[in-house]
Amino acid sequence: MPATSFSCSFLSLQPRFNSYVNPIFRSLTFQLSSSPFPFNAPFSSIRIRCSLSRPAETNSTTGGRSGALTPGPSVGGDVQKIDVNPPKGTRDFPPEDMRLRNWLFNHFKEVSWLYGFEEVDYPVLESEALFTRKAGEEIKDQLYCFEDRGNRRVALRPELTPSLARLVIQKGKSVSLPIKWFTVGQCWRYERMTRGRRREHYQWNMDIIGVPGVMAEAELISSVVTLFKRIGITESDVGFKVSSRKVLQEVLNCYSVPEYLFGKVCVIIDKIEKIPVDEIKKELKAVGLSQEAVQKLLQVLSVKSLAELEERLGSSGEALADLKQLFSLAEKTGFSKWLQFDASVVRGLAYYTGIVFEGFDREGKLRAICGGGRYDHLFSTFGADDIAACGFGFGDAVIVELLKEKGLLPELNLHIDNIVCALDEDLQGCAAMVANILREKGHSVELVLESKPLKWVFKRAARVNAERLVLVGNSEWQRGVVGVKILSTAEQYEVKLEDLK
């Protein structure tokens, strides 16, 4: 009897398999064969062949979830070539770029250590709610956010300060104040790309929690100045624009502007060098400021000296007192030449409350190099008691552009202490033993893993900037020695294995 075929719904045939089968498999075709077909035969005696068909690919937005069972490349057919470039706005780090990144990050960490900060880190993936505290912040529209498989709203972190606040709240009284923490972490923002601005970047943050006085801001700015000096940047290359959110608050109070508008006004003012003044005026009026308040605000924001600020606001305000103290501390600490007052600096994040600052290149070719300030009320937006706090963020992309601009990028060639080579294929195991002896003594070693002519080995040694070439030859090995060649001087000698250093 010829084979008998029939089709059926898999799920209707075996409903109890529902939880085991990916729903993309829509149907099964069974082929049962026997001669003759034994309808009354035990099930185990029936041979079953099934072919699986899948529905057309579903749109992920309709609720279908892609699983691991996805079609692989066709065997023997044409394989589509992948795009070898990383996603737009992101970067690869081949060895030469990784050396530069490590060099910069090491400076970040060493400066943090010099100032007595401890290193921390946080997840790259955080709860979306952590970054959507207040309306009006541009950062909300730049989030890489999505719903995970547990139906939770999550986001790739666009900045590090909210994660810091979360961890401080989590630790509670188990940590004593003041807290001085730093981190170097990857951040993600879907934003328009310009020179030095990418959709993923690394950021160095230093934060001081629990110190209400201006000494904390002075310490942070001093640490950034120290970093600049270490990498060759001077006060003629870079400066810090300094102001205080309290300046803006005092002006708004004069015109009875509601407190809830403060953050929105700050976000608008932060665009003052990015869009025309007329657009700034329109946006300020749109959030509820009167014509008179807008005019007065823009007048104050044009002030570039503390003396003029005192004329406009008087000498009794907190803003002026804080700024005078900061400039006095800068004079005593030796970085006053790096600072300049600029009332228009407010920073774009809504949580800043006091002194704010931005590092900028004096030629004006690049966006802000770094920025930070005081954020005494951030913790209450997460339901905790407020703690005095300030900090800064310093991205890796802009500073590299500045170093290129100034011709200050370091030469960071690969460097290996030793290259070890067997002169005979039978001695490769012996060469590996020599390499391990040197590694145990703290030397970096490249072991030649294949049988190669000496000409190739010398070229390789030059490429990796090796200091010594260690040769393992037959006659030398039988005498318990290896040949050593100092590549910079061409000096050659033999060394006993036990004396190899």
Annotated binding site for L-histidine: 159-161, 189, 203, 207, 347, 351-352
Residue at token pair 């190099």:
369
Side-chain-side CA neighbours of 357 within 13 Å: the count stands at 31
Task: Retrieve residue 201's tokens.
Answer: 């970047």
Q: Which helix (H) or strand (E) holds 76?
A: none
The residues, ordered by sequence, that sit 6+ positions from 171 with a Cβ below 8 Å of its Cβ are none
Residue-wise burial string across 450-472, b where 16 or more C-beta atoms lie within 10 A, e elsewhere:
eeeeeeebbebbeeeebebbbbb
Instruction: Give start and end residues of each alpha helix (H) in 211-244.
Output: 215-230
**Intra-chain end-to-end CA distance of the chain, in Å:** 82
Lay out the sheet containing 125-127: strands in order across: 125-127, 153-156, 144-147
Strand pairing class (27-33; 47-53): antiparallel
Lay out the sheet containing 4-8: strands in order across: 4-8, 27-33, 47-53
Q: Are 115 and 180 in contact (CB under 8 A)?
A: yes
Other beta carbons within 10 Å of 373: 25
Rg of the chain on CA atoms, in Å: 33
Other beta carbons within 10 Å of 129: 13
Let me know if 178 is exposed, middle or buried by CB neighbors in 10 A (0-12, 13-18, 19+).
middle
Task: Retrieve residue 447's tokens.
Answer: 């072991």
For helices 95-114 and 215-230, give the axis angle rounded to 10 degrees.
140
Calpha distance 340→266 (Å, rounded): 20
Calpha distance 244→227 (Å, rounded): 24
- Indicate the length of the chain as a whole number: 501
**Of 135, 136, 134, whose CA–CA distance to 269 is shortest?**
136
Calpha distance 30→304 (Å, rounded): 82
Strand pairing class (153-156; 200-209): unpaired
Q: Is 206 left (phi over 0), alpha (psi -120 to 50) or beta?
A: beta
For residue 88, CA distances in Å to 85, 91, 141, 417 come to: 8, 8, 18, 38
